[in-house]
C-alpha cells in the first residue's frame, strides 16, 4: 500500500513514479474504468457530517459561457480537499464559489446550492462580509496590506469587532501568527511593513490574516505557485497542521502537492467534476479514464 502523505524529494519522486506505473497498470481488475465520454462524477461526493455541501453548482461567465457544470461535492471537517485538473478546467472558478468571490466578477453567474452550516450562502439574508471571514481565502500571490505586520493581522478582528481592547487584539495577533508558524520570525519587528517580508513569510502572514477572523474553511488558490521549494515546503507543513482546526480546499497544479497535503482529491476537466475520492485512491487507482490520463501525464 502506498503512503502518499508527507514525502519530499527523492521519496516523493519515487512515489510519483509508482503513481504512474500503478495507475497505468489497470487498477482494479474486473472493474473497467469509466469511459472518457462520460461526464457524471465518479466516486463518493458525500462525507459524514460535512462542513459545506455543494449541489448542482453551475457557473457562467458573460451570459452563456459555462465554466462549472452541475458540480456536487461535500467539504469535510478537518480535511484538506485538493482540486486538480488541467489549466482552465474550472478549479479557481469553483473554489471562488465557496465564499461568493465570483460575485465580484462582472458577468459571472452562479446557480445551485452551496450550504455552510445549514445555510445556503446565496440566501438573501447572507452578508458576504462575515461569510468571507468564515470562509477565508489565500491567493496565489501573497498580498499583504501596505501596513505593519501587526496591522495586517489586526485589521480583520478590528473591522469585525472581535476584540474589546488592545490586549485582546494583541492576543489574537499573536495566536494567529503562531498558528501560521510565523510568530518566532516576526515577534521582534511587528511594526515593520508586511511587504518587507520574504515571499514565503508574506504568504504565511496572509494565512495568519485569514486565521485572525476565526474561519471555519480556508480556501487556497495555488498558494505556493509564487514560492521557492523551501518556502513551499514550509507552507505545505502548515497546511497539514491547520487541518486539525479547519476545513481546507486547495487548488493546485502540482499532483505531488495534492498527494502530500490532502486527504481527498477532486479532479476537474472542462468544467465537470470527473472524479472525487481519497487522495491515495485517486492517484493509485483512478476510476475514470480522464483522471487516469491526467495523473499519468497524458495531458495537463
Ligand atoms: P483553472 O483554475 O482550472 O485554471 P479557471 O476557473 O480559471 O480554471 O477557468 C475556467 C474557465 O473559465 C476558463 O475557460 C476561463 O477562461 C474561464 N474564466 C475564468 N475567469 C473568467 C472571467 N473572469 N471571465 C470570463 N471567463 C473566465
CA distance 57 to 71: 5
- Cα–Cα distance list, 164 to 121, 132, 281 (Å): 29, 22, 48
- Cα–Cα distance list, 53 to 48, 49, 119, 265, 271 (Å): 11, 10, 10, 16, 18
The verdict on the CB of residue 53 being under 6 Å from ligand 1 is: no
pLDDT, tens only, 202-259: 999 999 999 999 999 999 999 999 999 999 999 999 999 999 999 999 999 999 999 9
The verdict on the CB of residue 90 being under 6 Å from ligand 1 is: yes
Q: What's the whole-number mean pLDDT along residues 120-132?
A: 96
Q: What mean pLDDT is reported for the chain?
A: 91
Q: Which atom of ligand 1 is nearest to the CA of 268?
A: 3
CA distance 271 to 84: 12
CA distance 274 to 13: 26
DSSP character at residue 245? T
pLDDT tops 70 at residue 28: no
pLDDT tops 80 at residue 173: yes
Pairing verdict, β 264-269 and 272-278: antiparallel
Lowest-confidence pick of 10-24, 95-109, 165-179, 183-197: 10-24
Return the residue matching grid coordinates 462520460: 38
Q: What's the whole-number mean pLDDT along residues 39-60?
A: 97
Q: Ligand 1 pocket test: which of 57, 93, 98, 110 has the largest number of ligand atoms within 8 Å of its C-beta? A: 93
Cβ contacts of 256 within 8 Å, gap of 6 or more: 12, 16
Buried b (16+ CB within 10 A) or exposed e, 49-86: ebbbbbeebbbbbeeeeebbbbbbbbbbbebbbbbbbb
Q: Which atom of ligand 1 is nearest to the CA of 93?
A: 6
- Cα–Cα distance list, 193 to 150, 186, 296 (Å): 9, 11, 44
Pairing verdict, β 264-269 and 80-84: parallel
The verdict on the CB of residue 252 being under 6 Å from ligand 1 is: no
Is the pTM higher than 0.85? The answer reads yes
Q: Which three three-digit cell numbers place residue 282? A: 485517486
Question: How does residue 31 score in pLDDT terms, banded at 50, 70 and 90?
Answer: confident
Q: Which atom of ligand 1 is nearest to the CA of 86?
A: 3
Nearest CA to ligand 1 atom 27: 61
CA of 94 to the centre of ligand 1 (A): 10
Question: How does residue 29 score in pLDDT terms, banded at 50, 70 and 90?
Answer: low
Task: With CA atoms as reference, report the closest residue to 245 among 95, 79, 131, 73.
Answer: 79
CA distance 109 to 113: 13
- Strand stretches in 130-173, DSSP E: 135-138
H/E element, 221: strand 217-221
Residue 189 or 24, more confident? 189
Domain boundaries, the chain: 45-148+220-295
The verdict on the CB of residue 101 being under 6 Å from ligand 1 is: no
Q: What's the whole-number mean pLDDT along residues 22-36?
A: 68
The verdict on the CB of residue 194 being under 6 Å from ligand 1 is: no
The verdict on the CB of residue 115 being under 6 Å from ligand 1 is: no
CA 148, 151, 156, 159 torsion: positive or negative? negative
Angle between helices 199-211 and 149-159 (to 10 degrees): 20
Task: With CA atoms as reference, report the closest residue to 262 among 19, 88, 83, 51.
Answer: 83
Q: Which atom of ligand 1 is nearest to the CA of 59?
A: 12
CA distance 151 to 145: 8
Q: Ligand 1 pocket test: which of 63, 82, 90 has the largest number of ligand atoms within 8 Å of its C-beta? A: 90
Q: What's the whole-number mean pLDDT along residues 185-214?
A: 98
Question: How does residue 298 score in pLDDT terms, banded at 50, 70 and 90?
Answer: confident
**At the top level of CATH, which class does the domain 45-148+220-295 belong to?**
alpha beta
CA of 61 to the centre of ligand 1 (A): 8
Q: Which atom of ligand 1 is nearest to the CA of 107?
A: 24
Amino acid at each position: 500500500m502506498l503512503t502518499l502523505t508527507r514525502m519530499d524529494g527523492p521519496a516523493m519522486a519515487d512515489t510519483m513514479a509508482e503513481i504512474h506505473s500503478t495507475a497505468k497498470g489497470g487498477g482494479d481488475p474486473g472493474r473497467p474504468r469509466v469511459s472518457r465520454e462520460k461526464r457524471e462524477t465518479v466516486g463518493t461526493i458525500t462525507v459524514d457530517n460535512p462542513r459545506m455541501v455543494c449541489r448542482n453548482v453551475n457557473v457562467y461567465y458573460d451570459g452563456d459561457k459555462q465554466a462549472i457544470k452541475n458540480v456536487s461535492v461535500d467539504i469535510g471537517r478537518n480535511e484538506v480537499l485538493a482540486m486538480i485538473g488541467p489549466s482552465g478546467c474550472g478549479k479557481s472558478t469553483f473554489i471562488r464559489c465557496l465564499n461568493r468571490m465570483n460575485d465580484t466578477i462582472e458577468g459571472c453567474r452562479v446557480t445551485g446550492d452551496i450550504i455552510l452550516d445549514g445555510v445556503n450562502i446565496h440566501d438573501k439574508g447572507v452578508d458576504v462580509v462575515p461569510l468571507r471571514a468564515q470562509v477565508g481565502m489565500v491567493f496565489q500571490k501573497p498580498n499583504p496590506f501596505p501596513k505593519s505586520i501587526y496591522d495586517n493581522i489586526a485589521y480583520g478582528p478590528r473591522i469585525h469587532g472581535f476584540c474589546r481592547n488592545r490586549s485582546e487584539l494583541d492576543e489574537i495577533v499573536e495566536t494567529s501568527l503562531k498558528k501560521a508558524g510565523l510568530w518566532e520570525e516576526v515577534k521582534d519587528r511587528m511594526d515593520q511593513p508586511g511587504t518587507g517580508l520574504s515571499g514565503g513569510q508574506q504568504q504565511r502572514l496572509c494565512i495568519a490574516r485569514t486565521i485572525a477572523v476565526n474561519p471555519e474553511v480556508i480556501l487556497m488558490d495555488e498558494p505556493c505557485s509564487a514560492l521557492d521549494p523551501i518556502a513551499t515546503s514550509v507552507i505545505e507543513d502548515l497546511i497539514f497542521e491547520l487541518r486539525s482546526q479547519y476545513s481546507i480546499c486547495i487548488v493546485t497544479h502540482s499532483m505531488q502537492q495534492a498527494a502530500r497535503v490532502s486527504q481527498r482529491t477532486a479532479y476537474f476537466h472542462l468544467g465537470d467534476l470527473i472524479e472525487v475520492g481519497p487522495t491515495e485512491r485517486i492517484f493509485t487507482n483512478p476510476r475514470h479514464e480522464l483522471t487516469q490520463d491526467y495523473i499519468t501525464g497524458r495531458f495537463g
